[in-house]
Amino acid sequence: MFQENTVYIVGESKAASNNPITQQFNCFFIGLVIDSDTHEIVDVECSTTISLTSKFIRSMLNGHSILQSDVLEKEIEKRYFGSSQKALTVAIRNASIKYLQLNKV
């Protein structure tokens, strides 16, 4: 399904204690499949309680560069108004840092 030049990175963060994600998963996780040649996000899935949320986040992030976490964070701030907005932003930042460390970009 995924090309050999892709890598899988997981970013995590804490969601608010009253958030259903915290009650179900204990943390917020986002999994990203990234093309290591172009640094483009090619697929996304995250720990959400509503499947539409995961689909929306996927459509919002696919095609963007993981190296531009500031652009991703602005996109989240502009378009995503779920209760886990901050957790999503932190998880993206966490995944971006991991990717940079692994690839020494």
pLDDT tens readout for residues 8-37 = 999 988 765 665 555 555 678 899 999 999
Angle subtended at Cα 102 by Cα 34 and Cα 105, rounded to the nearest 5 degrees? 80
> What strands lie across the sheet with 6-13, from one edge to the other?
6-13, 28-35, 41-46
Please tell me the distance from the alpha carbon of residue 12 to that of residue 47, in angstroms, as a whole number. 10
Q: What is the mean pLDDT of the chain?
A: 88
Residue 80 has pLDDT above 60, yes or no: yes
Name all domains of the chain by residue range, CATH numbers in brackets: 6-103 (3.90.1010.10)
**pLDDT of amino acid 13:** 82
